[in-house]
Amino acid sequence: MKVLVVGSGGREHAIIKKIKENKNVECIYALPGNAGMADDAVLTGIKADDKAGIVKFALDSKIDYAVVAPDNPLVDGCVDALEAEGIPCFGPQAKAAIIEGSKVFSKDLMKKYGIPTAAYEVFSDAKAAQKYVESCPIPTVIKADGLALGKGVIIAMSREEAKDAIKSIMEDKQFGDSGNNIVIEEFLEGPEVSVLSFTDGKTVVPMISSMDHKRAMDGDQGLNTGGMGTIAPNPYYTKEVADRCMEEIFLPTMAAMNKEGRTFKGCLYFGLMITKDGPKVIEYNCRFGDPETQVVLPLLKTDLLDVMMAVTEERLADINVEWADESACCVIMASKGYPQSYEKGYEMDIPADVKPCVYVAGAAEKDGKLVTNGGRVLGCTATAADLPAAIDAAYKMVKRISFGNAYYRNDIGSKALAALGKDK
């Protein structure tokens, strides 16, 4: 089989490495991929947002199966375009990807179908929004409606901050048209859990739970990033919480999307907060999380491509999706300065025995050598019998990898260890 994977980051590298385990796969193409994946996939240089180019490549190369991983192409209908040419895909069509593409849509969906989430108001007028935050409870949370590279959420700790956020999103158009509408919602408190799930519109199969570490610095200090590390499973996701989530969130979401004529097929990501009143949805994503995928897929025992194809063919109920009874930890190595300005072009040294555990997000080739080419450069994942061992093993590998201006958090997993009563 010839498989193509749209995207270029660490998440895509993890998907590619896992798909490569399938015996029927003869070739995997990355569109565009990055130089750090060259051992695992053929790099094409075709950009993830070049819908017409992707379809043409798929037809010319006689692709048997396509995986569309990032949010932008999904929301933009890349799956629709491939399917129109008869190419089977993993990923939702645009009409279902809207669950991530519009926060107004997802909040209204949850309200309509009684799915637990933060209370909210929608505004299309900046003045009305400004007036609202003069008297609403503080802290409050301001969210741009559309995609904003993961930066469209502002937790305002004061009325001033709330007003500034409304101005920059709605008036200064910091995120372009994504900020034409905003959601202002109740500030929730509690541990966060990421649950990715496979769904074919008939069955939901939650994957192993995980915990992201979004802030740039140790102790959850500093700016929000795309994610500085992950662990799985998440200790806050107990059996009791999982059962409630299935009953109150996962199944109702799938049913709601079906009712709306927007059947979701692919990976539906539930960003959850475990509040004192039970689990609530913070956000939906229409795709695998990054860097959640880098801890979840290494624990998957069932063949990933088999599961994906079962989703496409709507026979997920017939597949037994199994997970290793282990833990995983992924530490992201970034370029110093990320998520703000940083330098690129430093030579990378990754020992050969560590390579299988490394998912490269931002690398390029220069004079035959691998050099850094992004804010998040790579993720290093270890799996082990328990979480302390996985964390130790991940950091041991990280210390053996070197590149100029490398930066990583030293406390990935420490909150989870504390929850398990295993903190040092």
- 204 in Cβ contact with 269 (< 8 Å): no
Residue with Cβ nearer ligand AMP (189 or 318): 189
Residue with Cβ nearer ligand AMP (16 or 232): 232
Whether the ω angle into residue 139 lies within 30 degrees of 0, i.e. cis, is: yes
Rounded least distance, CB 190 to ligand AMP, Å:
9
Residue with Cβ nearer ligand GLY (77 or 150): 150
Residue 292 as a binder of ligand AMP (CB under 6 A): the answer is: no
- 390 in Cβ contact with 384 (< 8 Å): yes
Give 224-285 as a DSSP string.
E-S-SEEEES-TT--HHHHHHHIIIIIHHHHHHHHHTT----EEEEEEEEEETTEEEEEEEE
Residue 145 as a binder of ligand GLY (CB under 6 A): the answer is: no
378: its two tokens = 């790579």
Residue 38 CA to residue 22 CA, distance in Å, equals 18
Residue 227 as a binder of ligand GLY (CB under 6 A): the answer is: yes
Rounded least distance, CB 150 to ligand AMP, Å:
6
Residue with Cβ nearer ligand GLY (180 or 224): 224
Rounded least distance, CB 236 to ligand GLY, Å:
16
Range 276-295, binding ligand GLY (CB under 6 A): 285, 289-290, 292
> Judged by CB under 6 A, which stretch of 30-38, 187-195, 199-207, 226-234 contacts ligand AMP?
187-195
Helices 103-113 and 94-101: crossing angle, nearest 10°? 90
Residue with Cβ nearer ligand GLY (34 or 293): 293
Instruction: Count interface residues toward ligand AMP (CB under 6 A).
Output: 14
- 346 in Cβ contact with 401 (< 8 Å): no
- 355 in Cβ contact with 397 (< 8 Å): no
314: its two tokens = 């709507």
| Site track for ligand AMP across 149-168, x = CB under 6 A | -x--x-x-------------
Residue 191 as a binder of ligand AMP (CB under 6 A): the answer is: no
Rounded least distance, CB 103 to ligand AMP, Å:
8
- Helices of type H across 114-238: 126-132, 159-166
Residue 50 CA to residue 16 CA, distance in Å, equals 20
Residue 234 as a binder of ligand GLY (CB under 6 A): the answer is: no
According to CB under 6 A, which one of 187, 342, 395, 407 is a site residue for ligand AMP? 187
Rounded least distance, CB 227 to ligand GLY, Å:
4
